[in-house]
């Protein structure tokens, strides 16, 4: 599965859009980009995933560059409850154990 | 649906003791897995199961046993606890290998 690189931390003002970048330059053609987040002391929570096209759901939008070497997770109107560690993960469908390889993630702090 | 449940929430063990961490899901998911998360780190896969009666090792399996006698339950057994096993343990499930994973709330284990 692709190694991903994310900034260690980011701040965002409450009500503004939070744009979290992720580099995955070694991603292969069959690997999806998954985003999970972990709010303090809780289990990780799925946010969104995509392969080539941009994706949107009720939580966030995912913008993937045409060459698939990077992506951006967008939280359109960040709230204090979005303060969490956000993990960008490259994963092939049906890899052994359906394993998610968690890196360090980005610690997003949403400030009033 | 209760989703993924884990018991106990907290546990303190002495070195050499054994115990079982319980995990159950009511979503009829085939895939279940156990991760551990050490302080300030990402999650690492311990063991996983692709269905009842089938288990396999993940990234860090030493010191742990699992079994999967039913679709719903996937207990993790610590055979002889060591201080290095002090961690937060998360159980996860998914419908199939390529699907998103749902995580339980975690079990915090301290081994003295």
**A residues 28..47 contacting B (CB < 8 A):** 32, 34, 41-46
DSSP line for B29-81: -SEEEEEEE-TTS-EEEEEEEEETTEEEE-SS-TTEEE--SSSSB--EEESS-
Q: How are beta strands A106-111 and A9-13 bridged, if at all?
A: parallel
Cis peptide, bond prior to residue B8, ω within 30 of zero: yes
- Report the chain B residue with the minimal C-alpha distance to residue A106: B42
3-state secondary structure of A97: helix
Distance CA B42, CA B64 (A): 19
**Distance from C-alpha of B27 to C-alpha of B91, rounded to nearest angstrom:** 14
> Which residues of chain A does B98 touch, with a Cβ-Cβ cutoff of 8 Å?
32, 93-94, 98
B2: pLDDT confidence band, cut at 50, 70 and 90? confident
- Taking alpha carbons only, the member of B44, B41, B40 closest to residue B63 is B44
Residue A59 is predicted with a pLDDT of 94
Q: What is the pLDDT of residues B27-73, one digit of tens each?
A: 999 999 999 999 878 889 999 998 999 999 998 999 999 999 999 99
Contact A43/B42, CB-based, under 8 Å? no
* Closest residue by Cα to residue B11 from B92, B91, B86: B86
Tens-digit pLDDT string for chain A (112 aa) = 668 999 999 999 999 999 999 999 888 888 889 999 999 889 999 999 999 989 999 999 999 999 999 999 999 999 999 999 999 998 876 666 667 778 889 999 999 9
| DSSP for residue B98 | T
Q: Contact A94/B102, CB-based, under 8 Å?
A: no
Instruction: Count Cβ–Cβ pairs < 8 Å, chain A vs chain B.
Output: 59
- pLDDT at residue B9 above 90? yes
Q: Which whole-number Å values give the CA distances from B26 to A74, A96, B15, B102, in the listed order?
A: 31, 23, 33, 11
Alpha-carbon gap, residue A47 to A44, rounded angstroms: 9
pLDDT of residue A1: 65
C-alpha to C-alpha distance for B31 and A40, rounded to whole angstroms: 25
> Measured between alpha carbons, how far is residue B31 from residues A66, A95, B10, B62, B71 in Å?
32, 12, 25, 21, 9
Two tokens at B64?
């742990």
- The predicted structure's pLDDT at residue A87: 94
Span B70-94, pLDDT tens digits: 999 999 999 999 999 999 999 999 9
Residue B63: how many other CB atoms lie within 10 Å? 14
Distances (CA, A) of B78 to B81, B88, B89: 6, 13, 12
What is the token pair recorded at B30? 């085939």
């Amino acid at each position: 599965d692709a190694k991903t690189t994310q900034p260690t931390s980011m701040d965002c003002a409450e009500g503004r859009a939070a744009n979290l970048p992720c580099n995955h330059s070694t991603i292969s053609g069959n690997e999806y980009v998954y985003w999970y987040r972990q709010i303090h002391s809780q289990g990780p929570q799925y946010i969104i995933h995509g392969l080539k096209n941009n994706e949107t759901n009720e939580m966030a939008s995912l913008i993937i560059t045409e060459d698939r070497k990077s992506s951006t997770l967008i939280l359109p109107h960040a709230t204090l409850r979005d303060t969490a560690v956000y993990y960008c993960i490259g994963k092939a469908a049906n890899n052994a154990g359906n394993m998610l390889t968690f890196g360090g993630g980005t610690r997003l702090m949403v400030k009033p | 649906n209760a989703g993924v449940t884990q018991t106990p929430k907290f546990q303190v063990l002495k070195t050499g003791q054994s115990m079982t961490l319980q995990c159950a899901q009511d979503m009829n998911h085939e895939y279940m897995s156990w991760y551990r998360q050490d302080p300030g780190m990402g999650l690492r896969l311990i063991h996983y199961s692709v269905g009842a009666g089938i288990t396999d090792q993940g990234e860090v399996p030493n010191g742990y046993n699992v079994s999967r006698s039913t679709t719903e339950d996937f207990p993790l057994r610590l055979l002889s606890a060591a201080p290095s096993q002090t961690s937060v343990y998360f159980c996860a499930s998914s419908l199939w290998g390529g699907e998103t994973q749902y995580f339980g709330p975690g079990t915090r284990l301290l081994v003295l």
